[in-house]
Structure 1
Amino acid sequence: MPDTPHNSPDEALLGTALQMVDVWSRLSPEKQALLLKRFGTQENALAALVTTRLLNPAPL
């Protein structure tokens, strides 16, 4: 397996996705239901959360 930089795009995407799964698990059932209604599936809702995070990252 080739060496990859620690800040590779793949690593950033995976890290962001794991953070969003954590965020999802901390959402209230009502908020989860609202997101599911809007996006149809948990996968779509998580994809929207990840996209939002990647396009608008939190300040350090």
Structure 2
Amino acid sequence: MTDTLPDSPDAAVLDAALQMVDVWNRLSAEKQALLLKRFGTQENALAALVTTKMLAPSKH
């Protein structure tokens, strides 16, 4: 993961999405199942993770 700011809002969203796909792939089956139960689909769960990542305060 990079500490530099993306050049555009689109790049920021894409970067966050790629990071959250990586996070999703590292989650246990149980945690994935909980997210799927809460959000209905993997796409919705990933969208929630991306939104959380985008709205989280920076750790600079």
| TM value normalised by structure 2 | 0.85
- Percent identity, please: 75
Alignment: residue pair count: 55
Could you tell me how far 1:28 is from its partner in structure 2? Answer: 0.2
Say yes or no: does 1:56 pair with 2:56: yes
Residues 1-59 of structure 1, C-alpha deviation per residue, up to 9 Å, x if partnerless?
xxxxx520000100000000000000000000000000000000000000000011451
Name structure 1 gaps, 5 residues minimum: 1-5
Name structure 2 gaps, 5 residues minimum: 1-5
Determine the C-alpha separation between the residues in 1 that align with 2:53 and 2:32: 17
2:34 equivalent in structure 1:
34
| TM value normalised by structure 1 | 0.85
Residues 57/19 of structure 1: CA separation in 2 closer, same or farther (3 Å cut): farther
Root-mean-square deviation (CA), in Å? 1.2
| Greater gyration radius | 1
